[in-house]
Amino acid sequence: MIDIKLIRENKEMVKENIKKKFQNHKLPLVDEIYDLDIKCREAKQKGDNLRALKNEKSALIGKLMREGDKEEAEKVKAEVSKYGDEIEALTAEEDKLNKEIKEKMMVIPNIIDDTVPIGEDDTKNVENEKFGEPIVPDYEIPYHADICENLNGLDKESAGRTSGNGFYYLIGDIARLHSAMLSYARDFMINKGFIYTIPPFMIRSDVVTGVMSFEEMDAMMYKIEGEDLYLIGTSEHSMIGKFKDQIVKESELPITMTSYSPCFRKEVGAHGIEERGLYRVHQFEKQEMIVLCKKEEGMDWYNKMWSYTVEFFRSLDIPVRTLECCSGDLADLKVKSCDVEAWSPRQKKYFEVGSCSILGDAQARRLGIRMKTDKGTEYVTTLNNTVLATPRGLIAFLENNYQEDGSVRIPEALRPYMGGLEIIKPKK
């Protein structure tokens, strides 16, 4: 949610930003909010003036009573009573207008950074930089589900019976590899100075609407029937929610945390659920990084955060690239975002394994997260980034470390988490 001052003082800039995001259907909202805000401030001003007058007249009543002029005092009392009724009506009008303004403000997109490329959808995203040589070996790389099954590591058929499409059993060395990658990701971020946290895996609706747009919420979140609780789609949601309605000291910033959680997503949309493989599923696990900082430090942290993900995947011998998200591909709360994509030697192309975003004060404004300074309080800047989301990260690992004989090599960085194992061999 943007600061309403932007609409008061520069509504044409807000409209231009909406156009850059190809959401022209939202343009009328800007004028509607502008007009409602004028009415709301007028109601508030009238109410404030009447309160001051009421206080002045109330003091006069006491003076008249002390002077013995009861008749005049009764007249003033009647006036004060009338003021009270008017104040009550103005307060109700102000509350109604504020509610209407907030509802409309919640769907106005955040102001994107000047460096964001302009484009309608993800086909207009722009490659930034490649890290590592994208190699295609002279032998065939099987589909990742086949690699797992050849290593007796995947059972989707049984998961279909227990849970339906979009779920899976990981078994044996593949399950161990999956957990090893997450443990390595955890320690990797702890070594970067981030505080390790395991958050709640369910959150209330007021936290959900504080961290994401309504469109994202409908497409992603699983609702717990009969309760005001949702399963998290990423731990960023409960991690940012941790600071809801809190005022942090300026000296405590930046707050840098890394969190583990399972994630649950409906995955509603044209892409659907991958029936055979593990790329798009309802349930996965994730190591995330979250930063709360001052506004002026936001972009520095943004660049540090995506670079940590690149460093993590390169330590596992996985070539990656960064892809700048264009304006039409940015979620409404985001100022700027880039995807980290891993090389697929089987498909001979890159695919997304993580995303880094800076949201300015949009989440902080919705959730009431502020910092205390010498000059008062102001909203903090929030950022989030994927360290590892797996099994998607597992797919990248398997393809890039697959050997011609059907085995999977374990890079040195991961061996301590695999009991010293250097290679996973097919079971005969």
- DSSP bridge partners of 408: 402, 424
Strand partners, 249: 372
Residue 370: predicted pLDDT = 96
- The per-residue pLDDT for 268 is 62
Number of helices (H) and strands (E), helices first, in the chain? 12, 18
Q: Which residue has the tokens 């980290």?
A: 340
SS3 13: helix
| Residue listed under structure tokens 């960064």 | 322
Q: At what angle do helices 392-400 and 172-190 cross, to 10 degrees?
A: 100
How confident is the chain (428 residues) per 10-residue block, as mean pLDDT? 92 96 96 96 91 76 71 72 82 94 94 96 95 95 94 94 93 97 98 97 93 77 93 94 96 97 80 75 95 97 98 97 96 96 97 96 95 92 96 96 96 96 88
Domains of the chain listed by start with CATH number:
4-105 (1.10.287.40), 122-424 (3.30.930.10)
Q: Determine the Cα–Cα distance for residues 80 and 86; give it in Å rounded to an integer.
A: 10
**What is residue 212's predicted lDDT score, i.e. its pLDDT?**
84
Main-chain dihedrals φ then ψ at residue 144, nearest 5 degrees: -60, -35
Task: Give CA–CA dist 393/183, Å, rounded.
Answer: 13
Give the number of other Cβ atoms within 10 Å of residue 43's Cβ. Answer: 20
Which amino acid makes up residue 381?
T
DSSP class per residue in 318-375: --EEEEEPPGGGS-TT-SEEEEEEEEETTTTEEEEEEEEEE-TTHHHHHHT-EEEETT
Contact by Cβ (8 Å): 233, 220: yes
- Report how far apart, in Å, the C-alpha atoms of 395 and of each of 154, 181, 271, 346, 402 are: 12, 12, 18, 11, 10
Contacts of 66 (CB under 8 A, 6+ apart): none
DSSP codes joined into one string, 126-161: EEEEEES-----SS----HHHHHHHTT-EEHHHHHH
Q: Which two tokens stand for residue 303?
A: 């660049």
Note whether 308 and 385 are within 8 A (CB): yes
Burial of 154 (0-12, 13-18, 19+ CB in 10 A): buried
N- to C-terminal Cα separation, the chain: 57
Q: Exposure of 51 by Cβ count < 10 A (0-12 exposed, 13-18 middle, 19+ buried)?
A: middle
Please count the residues of the chain: 428
**107, 30, 125: which is closest to 327 by C-alpha?**
125
How many Cβ atoms sit within 10 Å of the Cβ of residue 303?
12
Dist CA 233 CA 237 (whole Å):
8
* Residue whose C-alpha is closest to residue 29's, from 44, 18, 13: 18
Q: Which pLDDT score, from 0 to 100, does residue 269 have?
A: 57
Q: What are the φ and ψ backbone dihedral angles of 184, each rounded to 5 degrees?
A: -65, -40
pLDDT, residue 51, reads 83
What was the pLDDT predicted at 251?
A: 93
Closest CA to 331 of 31, 127, 122: 122
Q: What is the reported pLDDT for 271?
A: 58
Please report, for residues 46, 49, 67, the alpha-carbon distance to residue 60 in angstroms, rounded to integers and kept in the order given.
Answer: 21, 17, 11
Spatial neighbors of 175 by CB under 8 A, at least 6 apart, are: 153
List the beta bridge partners of residue 322: 129, 340
Cβ proximity of 213 and 107 under 8 Å? yes
pLDDT at residue 358 in the model: 98
**Which amino acid belongs to residue 216?**
E
